A and B are shown apart, each in its own frame.
Chain A
């Protein structure tokens, strides 16, 4: 179970926590302030649906844990940009299948910062690769017929120079 990782002195009033339930039944607690980074959760909070655990059937426990960690880190006050960026870089420096899960979760929960970060990292993975390399890297099936592939390559010839 993850708890709030804030190391500052306890505030005068107790932090309001929200419970999230993943698709595989795990529950996680997250500070309301951190949860506000997700527009989906923000809407639920506004409509007072946040008193009971919020079921998130599209997000697995493993991923939800990381998402909670991300939001909590980004909600911290007093974090300087440098360290945050370094932390972010480490956060997405994982197996790219996991980054895709981050993207799916960020998309579903509408967390723009996480979406941005994860998509940027995938874009980085694509950068500099030729189409064949991209296909191999992501194990994508090539659905072109030979002539179509020829057409597309010729129109985009400059990418290969």
Chain B
């Protein structure tokens, strides 16, 4: 056994012990040499690191390998033979090179998968960090019985390294089913590399949602399309680099696509949509918003060639014309929910044809916003054509007048819920006209921000009252005053919910006909910001409806005082949600309220009541039995130490302060 030499670079021979911890290695080297004629010159020994064997030697002129010198294909062969996902996860944490190599392995390329790790996936774990990452178990087992896990990457945490880690980490544990990436315009955001890692590692991906990813483009989507054939829901929002190519690849490979949502993707156009329509027979829901390249061709071919299961269509801010509306009208046989918004190029004719085409028989929810093509005529046609329409929402359609609205309401015989917002041409006559219809099935009417409604009614009419209306909401219509309310009140005897937020014009006198006329009891009453309501109205309300009233909101009613609280306590049996924010109530009012043993108050708000002081704290403690929500924001007279004291006794309650 030749003595080891330590070649310090000089021609000196040092005797001495071996630096190598295991001399067996040398044995092997030299045993090989004994039968061979190899000349082994004295050699330098590399520094020993750790208790393990030296990992790299340096021969003069010869060089033995370290694992880092193996080409990727060899490392790949090694990783393929790792016994389980656990080992692969360990290797993923070793270095970036190994991470990305492991994440590029397709599941089919891994041999000897032991799948009893799938049983571990049923545990719920929560991540300790503050970012919005969750590990949850979705019981959505598909064809592969996989795809239990959900990951959500946000902001700065949305990086390629994390995606690669997710791809490796979820692989042995039930597979990734849902992935959502919400990026920012950061420099180290997610790129196609990360997405490719996900594609290869998570073939069971079902839901992919990309919001504002900094540099994901077609190549990434093509990878997803190739590997994740079980994809069901795709959501692309603000993806400036994704074009038709990516969408076509998805269409052709992910035949099980159920839902597609595209928003603000400037490069996606008609060809992509046409491919979706052609290749995805199971598509149920499509939503396209603010994509300037999308036009009639794409929408029409999607709607007309998609099979009979397309049930939800949302088209907003697109350059489509009457032609698309006509196609929807004719071919939307399975559509149940339709949303059309901001269609600048669609005219009255298009909507009229859509209604008249008799194809939209199954539509039960229809929303139309900011479309100047909605006029009295076209609205009427829609009312007649959508025979199953239950819920209608009209926003910012400035050409609709009273008569159009009334005609529509009468024609849509199944209508149960009508919401109208910012229709500036509507006046009180329209509202009355809609309501006073004996045959109507309308249960809920909501009118918001209609500036045209004023307190005058032309002519006197024989008005029939509406027996079906249960919920009436008139919000922020500044012209709607007491006289209007009185008239409306007389027509709706069966109201249960009323919401009169922001109607600063109404007074007690206007409210009382409504209160008195109600045969059924009122259940929810919202009078927030009705500045002129006083104790008198509240007393009348609780006197007449105390037996049924559950929610009362008097936020901002500055004229309401302790007297109302007394009345409430005396009369209300079922009240569980009371909002007295910014009312002029004091400690004595609170004490009266808290002494009501029969009240099971769950939510109470005294925000902004500056006359309620720390003296009320013991009274509030009495409500501990039922209270789960208490709002004490801006109560200047209650100190924060008192609030903390209160929090201790009301431990079940969520206190805002």
Contacts and interface: CB of A to CB of B under 8 A. Distances in A.
Given A62-B38, A151-B165, A152-B165, A137 B52 contact: yes
Given A100-B70, A100-B74, 19 more contacts: A95-B28, A95-B64, A96-B55, A98-B64, A103-B74, A103-B78, A119-B74, A123-B78, A127-B83, A128-B87, A137-B55, A138-B66, A143-B96, A148-B161, A155-B162, A155-B168, A156-B165, A156-B168, A159-B86
A139 B173 CA distance: 29
21 contacts: A24-B62, A61-B36, A62-B32, A96-B55, A97-B56, A100-B65, A104-B70, A104-B71, A107-B74, A115-B77, A122-B67, A126-B82, A130-B90, A136-B50, A136-B52, A138-B55, A149-B93, A153-B93, A155-B165, A155-B170, A157-B125
B67 A140 contact: yes
B92 interface: yes
A154 interface: yes
B96 A159 contact: no
Contact of B68 (A60, A140, A158): A140
B53 interface: yes
A14 B73 CA distance: 39
A96 B90 CA distance: 19
B460 interface: no
B57 A134 contact: no
A144 B96 contact: yes
Most buried by A among B56, B57, B159, B162: B162
B166 interface: yes
A85 interface: no
Interface residue SS majority, chain A: helix
A101 B90 contact: no
B438 interface: no
B591 to A, nearest CB: 52
Contacts of B53: 95-96
Interface of A: 1-2, 24, 26, 60-62, 65-66, 94-98, 100-101, 103-104, 107, 115-116, 119-120, 122-123, 126-131, 134-144, 148-149, 151-159
A119 B80 contact: yes
A135 B173 CA distance: 24
Contact of B78 (A101, A119, A139): A119
A157 B87 CA distance: 12
Given A95-B25, A97-B56, A158 B169 contact: yes
Contacts of B55: 96-97, 137-139
B69 interface: yes
A119 B81 contact: yes
Contacts of A142: 94-95
Nearest to A93: B28
Contacts of A128: 87
Interface of B: 25, 28, 32, 35-38, 49-50, 52-53, 55-57, 62, 64-71, 73-74, 77-83, 86-87, 89-99, 120, 125, 127, 129, 157, 159, 161-162, 164-166, 168-170, 173
A137 B56 CA distance: 11
A148 B82 CA distance: 24
A142 B97 CA distance: 9
Contacts of B90: 126, 129-131, 134, 156, 159
A4 to B, nearest CB: 14
A115 B70 CA distance: 13
A59 to B, nearest CB: 12
A119 B73 CA distance: 11
A142 B68 CA distance: 11
A70 B169 CA distance: 37
Contacts of A151: 157, 159, 161-162, 165
Contacts of B89: 156, 158-159
Contacts of B70: 100, 103-104
A143 B78 contact: no
Nearest to B92: A156
The 9 closest A-B pairs by CB, nearest first: A159-B89, A156-B89, A131-B93, A155-B169, A155-B165, A100-B65, A152-B165, A156-B169, A123-B81
A136 B35 CA distance: 34
Contacts of B157: 151
B129 A154 contact: yes
A19 to B, nearest CB: 15
B91 A134 contact: yes
A134 B50 CA distance: 12
Contacts of B73: 107
Nearest to B166: A155
B45 to A, nearest CB: 13
Contacts of A144: 95-96, 161
B189 to A, nearest CB: 14
